[in-house]
Amino acid sequence: MTQTAELLIDSKCALGEGPFWHPDRQQLFFFDINNQKLFAASATGDIEGSWSFGENVAAAAIIDADNLALVTETGLKRFNLQTSEQSLIVPIEADNAATRGNDSRVHPSGAFWIGTMPKNEDARGGTLYHYRAGKLSVLRSNASIPNATCFTRDGRTAYWADTPTQQILKVETDPATGLPVGDWSVFADVSEGPGYPDGAVVDSEGYLWSARWGGSCVVRHAPDGSVDRVVEVPVSQVTCPAFGGPDLKTLFITTAAKTLSPEQLAAEKVAGGIFAIRLDVPGLPEARITL
Number of H helices, E strands in the chain: 1, 25
Write the CA distances from 51 to 39, 48, 54, 112, integer angstroms.
7, 11, 10, 22
**Which CA distances in Å does 236 have to 91, 194, 213?**
34, 10, 7
Q: What is the distance between the alpha carbons of residues 134 and 290, in angstroms, rounded to a whole number?
A: 8
Distance CA 182, CA 9 (A): 41
Of 129, 130, 156, 131, which is closest to residue 143 (Cα–Cα)? 129
Are 275 and 41 in contact by the 8 Å Cβ rule? The answer is no
Query: What positions carry a catalytic annotation?
Result: 198
Enclosing H/E stretch for 213: strand 208-213
